[in-house]
Amino acid sequence: MWMVFGLIGIGSIVAVLSFFRKRQRVKALRATPPPESWQNILNQRFAIVQRLATEQKKQIFGYMQVFLDRVTFEGCGGLDVTEEIRVTIAAQACLLLVGREQKVYPKLKTILVYPHTYTSGAKGMFGGDNGEGSRLGESWVCGVVVLSWNSVVGGARNLEDGHNVTLHEFAHQLDQADGASDGAPVLRDRSAYVSWARVLSADYETLRKKTKRGKCDVMDRYGATNPAEFFAVATETFFEKPRQLETKHPELFAELQAYYHVNPLAWVE
């Protein structure tokens, strides 16, 4: 009996020590300045980082250090994963975290990167069968993100078209953090969900009606697919077309600003 209790005690101590080691490693990584090679890559591939405030730059680089330390990248379709690929994807993923103190995609394990659009016949991540077709990217609840590298580059190059596959798929990861793809990420408290549901439901229905009538909106019509896709599309628009979104959907803009704790209008040239 005493031996059992002793083993339990040792196991608990090991777990606690492991927790503190991980926390110290994260703290050290977040304090590590970015190598010069990152600056060169981002200047070419994701220049919006240069528009961030000083503290925001420090934060995104710290999150990127943690992200790249923990997440595994796998090249598919003959693609060799380079530092350029890893840094470009990490910067866009971590832009969604700037402004908030939180863990860096704790459920994310692997990023699969194809050179171009790819074909997938897998079951959809939202409960349906999407069927076989060309894809730009996917986000899986099990902690996997799939991306097309040429789509990543295209989305990062044009910062004002409202389309960015990396922001889109990592918005799904934020949404899926609680295990459900429902368009509601983890919010600060219960009251925040009430406002979130009211505003996003109303704008989602508006987009659905516009899409059915063939009318355009500042958000892509793909956002009318379901609430999860609406949140992902709204996120793309928030970061890439903030001025238009604030004008056309002021309450939605305010909800997203409260969630992301940033104002992309400060980055618009």
Strands 133-135 and 72-75: unpaired
In a domain, 48, yes or no: yes
DSSP string, 123-158: PPTTSS---SEEESEEEETTTEEEEEHHHHHHHHH-
Domain contains 6: no
pLDDT digits (tens, 9 = 90+) for 66-106: 999 999 999 999 999 999 999 999 999 999 999 999 899 99
Percent over 90 (pLDDT), the chain: 76
Q: Name the average pLDDT for the chain.
A: 90
Domain assignment present for residue 7? The answer is: no
Distance CA 225, CA 231 (A): 11
Is residue 23 situated within a structural domain? no
Q: How far apart are CA 243 and CA 250, in angstroms?
A: 10
pLDDT for residue 222 is more than 70: yes
- How does pLDDT run across 134-167, given as a tens digit for each residue? 788 999 999 999 999 999 999 999 888 899 999 9
Q: Which structural domain range is residue 187 located in? A: 33-267
The total of structural domains in the chain comes to 1
User: Can you give the CATH number for the domain in which 84 is found?
Assistant: 3.40.390.10
- 24 inside domain: no
pLDDT at position 126 over 50: no
Q: What pLDDT band is residue 121 in, cutting at 50, 70 and 90? A: low
Note whether residue 26 is domain-resident: no
pLDDT for residue 158:
87
pLDDT level of residue 22 (50, 70, 90 thresholds): confident
